[in-house]
Chains A and B, each alone.
Chain A
Amino acid sequence: MTYSSAVTTVFVLTLAIVAADVVLRLMFGHGRKAGYRPSGLFRWLRVAVNVAGLAALAAAAITGLVPALGKNGEMTGAALITHVTMAPPFAIVAVIVALFWAHRNRFTGGDWNASYHAAPLRKFFFWLAVAFAVPTLVSILAAMFPLADTEGQANLIRIHRYCGLFLAGSGLLFAYFALMAWWEGSKD
């Protein structure tokens, strides 16, 4: 499987999961509730972090994945510069998002009792995204040091590309489920 087809597959799978969730929500009659809303400065901070996180993820993903769908599948020129420029803000925001969401995304016994398991899916994709973020960052940074030979370099870049792809997919699904939880007014 080429990288461009992997990108397409992950993108289609992500959309499929979102579509399935929408269908299940309609089937189980989930709707918006007047729920919990944190107030004051903390609320705005959370919103800002979430928006920044989503924007950074989108920017890194778009600059990283769109060139893969191009003619030769190589990232170079403006796309590479933009991608590299986006990397430090993304890394910083990723840490903040992880800190803001880690506690709320602990798996608990209650996760399995609800009629529709949106919350555990959100948690699952959150932890998946965090898990993929680490090798995504480490692999490309390791490639910047004289550590790996040519084949090792190619492998590091391959790891970066595939982990980055799965990070993008899981990150977007986490964002979707988090957005739905907010829309539903979930306290979780």
Chain B
Amino acid sequence: MGPRFLMGAALATVCLLQAQPPKLGDNSAGSRGQPAHVIPLRDPEGDTIQPGDRHSLPFSVSQTCGGECHDVAAVSRGWHFDAMQAGVAAGRNGQPWLLVDRETATQIPLSYRAWAGTYRPPQVGMSEREFAIHFGGRTTGGFGPEAHDSEADRARWLVSGNLEVNCLVCHDASPAYDPAEYANQVAKENFRYAPAAASGLALVTGSAKQMPDLFDYLLPNSVEDSLQAQIPKVEYSPANFLPSGKVAFDIVRQAKSSQCYYCHTNTDVAFTGADRFKGHEDIHGARGIGCNECHRHGLDHMVTRGYEGGASAALTCEGCHAEGNAMGAPHPDHEGIPPVHFSRMTCTACHSGPLPEQITRQFKNGMTHGLGEFNVNKAAGALPHLYYPVFARNEAGKLAPNRLAWPAFWGRLENGTVKPLHPDQVKRALAKGKLAVPLTVDGSWLNVDERWVEQVLRILDEDGPSAYIAGGKLHRLYGGKLRAEDNAQAQPYLWPIAHDVRPATQSLGAKGCQDCHSTDAAIFFGKVAVDSPLASERKVSWTMNRFEKNLDTDYQSRLAASWRYRGMLKTIGLGAAALLLLVLLAYAVRAIDRLSAATLGRSR
């Protein structure tokens, strides 16, 4: 009985019991004060945890938060939790998960949402459990056994426990809450212990990953002696308990931006390390506007994503900055900008992300690079390699800046499509052909070439026609020789840039029309770096307008070239208008004079 079944049951219950009053904590009286969260800790069975318990159990967030006060089932249908749920609209492309395996030169965008260009984890042979181990430390939880799980996975879920919805990720504002510790515990497969460890209320030791399949967390000492030291254990600090046996959480209704940033940081590679101070901040953040001021939600936790055509028009750029808006946000006059710009470009085109340059920049992301986690690779070249800004047309046909990831993966050719192979399958091929290559020190791609790809494909082809996608090309063997060809699946995955937002003075066009209307304007003619494990493919680049469908580049070039005559056009036009006005006035004056004379019966 998996979480989806439970979720469905919870849904049905919610529907049936609509008349039931909301839970205590979900029915605000309207106070703007922060309610105190002095509450008992509850274990997965719902029993209260006391500081003096002989065999302490980790507290369960769903029991502690959801027992009496909050409808966790309703929360669990929110944006941060619903990717795996059936019938949920995918919405606009967003940040994918990136499965990186350096040994096999793999970098593949994953998502449970139907975002074109990403793959569902099962498509690469990745179970939900494996996904939870890989990426769960950066999620808000919501993973557990499913009906379709393998026997092995089912056994392991019992060992690790569920990675249940973790309210504390966003709502625990205590300085003791440590998201890096949460990720650390998830990596050790201490799923049921992770929230307790991260909360700072308890010390968690051991690793469920080391435990045998028959391990029972309620009878932890039943494992062999050599594993005793690795048994997951939780130890609460009595100092954290109040005389009532309850604990005081520093829970905030609205998550602090720094909590969002733990996962949603996007930072330019050039502004990491010692050069961090050179980076910029979103203008809203700089003005003290937190993420949740715009990305609002109710109990359902359906966070407003804030894009045009999304769920809430009032909380888009246009919504907040409309004339006479309720927020008091400045309304831009956009003086002198022809209105055609607003029908063909998004607000973000001029105001978000870095200004376009002659070649795209590289950035790192909290979710994909583990920023803030223990022992994170801080090298600039660490995989995955992500690029921005790339200007492309969105669903509405408007030009918008995007982030980009180049897929690199091995796959089987079936019915004209490439079905990605799990890196473990490729590793077996590498072992078979003794083709393993030493990893690079900086965490970047392997030092490999076409010959290596050819050799690996030769081994993979033994089990069926195979291909390697990288650098925007599909590589396959024809008559034993490697050939690279264009393929839709080799296209890079793009997702729109929303932040950081730049104010008018730093926007594209602030220096003049020629920010875009010059013959080498980066927005149309800049280069998009091509990323691939193959050095030869990294030497080439794509021109930006390759992503800007239906763009008349010839027109843009000619328009840009004509800009040098713009001053002349203005001078001649205004001069001509002045002369025509003079002619008009001269004869109008004469006509008035004649009219006046006519009233006296005289003709002039």
Name A's B-contacting residues (CB within 8 A).
Answer: 74, 76-78, 80-81, 84-85, 87-88, 91-92, 94-95, 98-99, 102, 106-107, 109, 127, 130-131, 133-134, 137-138, 140-141, 143-150, 152-154, 157
Which DSSP category, helix, strand, loop or mixed, fits chain A's interface?
Answer: helix
A91 → chain B, closest Cβ, in Å?
4
Asked if B570 is at the interface of the complex by the 8 Å CB criterion, the answer is: yes
Asked if B488 is at the interface of the complex by the 8 Å CB criterion, the answer is: no
Which residue of chain A has the shortest Cβ distance to B579 in the bound complex? Answer: A95
Residues B574-594 near A (CB distance < 8 A): 574-577, 579-581, 583-584, 586-587, 590-591
- Which stretch of B200-208, B257-265, B337-345 is in the interface? B337-345
Pick the contact of B338 from A91, A99, A131, A153 — CB < 8 Å?
A: A153
Contact with A along B549-567 (1 / 0, CB 8 A): 0001001001100100010
Pick the contact of B580 from A85, A130, A141, A143 — CB < 8 Å?
A: A130
For the complex of A and B, the 5 pairs showing the least CB-CB separation, nearest first, are A146-B336, A91-B576, A149-B333, A137-B577, A146-B335
Bound form: Cα–Cα A94–B577 in Å: 9
Are B570 and A141 neighbours in the complex by a CB distance under 8 Å?
yes
Asked if B227 is at the interface of the complex by the 8 Å CB criterion, the answer is: no
A163 → chain B, closest Cβ, in Å?
11
CB-CB under 8 A from B559, the residues of chain A are 80-81
Chain A CB count within 10 A is highest, among B337, B339, B591, for B339
Bound form: Cα–Cα A127–B555 in Å: 36
Chain A CB count within 10 A is highest, among B562, B566, B569, for B569
CB-CB under 8 A from B586, the residues of chain A are 102
28 contacts between A and B (CB under 8 A): A74-B340, A78-B555, A81-B562, A88-B569, A91-B573, A94-B576, A95-B580, A98-B580, A99-B583, A102-B583, A109-B603, A130-B580, A130-B583, A130-B584, A131-B584, A134-B577, A137-B574, A141-B570, A144-B336, A144-B569, A145-B336, A147-B335, A150-B337, A153-B336, A153-B337, A153-B338, A153-B339, A157-B338
Q: How large is the interface on B (under 10, 10 to 19, 20 to 34, 35 or more residues)?
A: 20 to 34
Which residue of chain A has the shortest Cβ distance to B594 in the bound complex? Answer: A107
Are B335 and A84 neighbours in the complex by a CB distance under 8 Å?
no
Chain A CB count within 10 A is highest, among B552, B580, B583, for B580
B227 → chain A, closest Cβ, in Å?
69
Which residue of chain A has the shortest Cβ distance to B576 in the bound complex? Answer: A91
Which residue of chain B has the shortest Cβ distance to A149 in the bound complex? Answer: B333
Bound form: Cα–Cα A138–B573 in Å: 8
Are B580 and A133 neighbours in the complex by a CB distance under 8 Å?
yes
